[in-house]
Amino acid sequence: FFINIRNGKFSPEYCRLVIEATSSEFVTFEMVQLMIMNLFKQWSIFESQVFQQCFKYLLENAVHKFRASKLIRTEMLRACAKLLKRSIFDGKACDADMLDQTVHFLLTNEDPQLQAIACEFIEAIAHEFATSWRSSNLGISFDFHVRARHSFE
């Protein structure tokens, strides 16, 4: 079923609706991955507002709704890190100011769980910029990875 879904072009809104409607962690996990994969496949088609909404949606849900589920929270933070990396040059999903504000808010919050989530997010970002997507089917070149990494550093 999920293999067939991956071949389709589902909108981020459709993925969001499924995430909201399901109580299955497996389905949520798969839909987060599907959302990111489809966003990457249609990067040049969608407006930046779509990417920003998805970034905010995933980050807010990782922090609030799925805070207790390590699997989903981690996948959503990884998805945000992927969006950040992909938008490092065009700023479609997240820019440096937005990233700084988000991480600063989470780290300076009095809630130790939010501080831990901030550390997880930083770890996801560091991991994303330390690895290349050559083996994935996202269509990102190794050259892009190197340029993105240098830009981020």
pLDDT of 115 over the 50 cut: yes
Please, is 123 exposed, middle or buried when counting C-beta atoms within 10 Å of its C-beta (0-12, 13-18, 19+)? middle
Q: Distance (Å, rounded) from C-alpha 92 to C-alpha 86?
A: 9
- 3-state helix/strand/coil string of 22-48: CCCHHHHHHHHHHHHHHHHHCCCCCCH
Question: How many domains in the chain?
Answer: 1
In the numeric block, the tokens 């997880």 are attached to 120
Q: Per-residue pLDDT tens for 9-68?
A: 788 999 999 999 999 999 999 999 999 999 988 888 899 999 999 999 999 999 999 989
Q: What is the pTM of this model?
A: 0.86
Secondary structure class of 17 (helix, strand, coil): helix
Domain that holds residue 140: 2-152
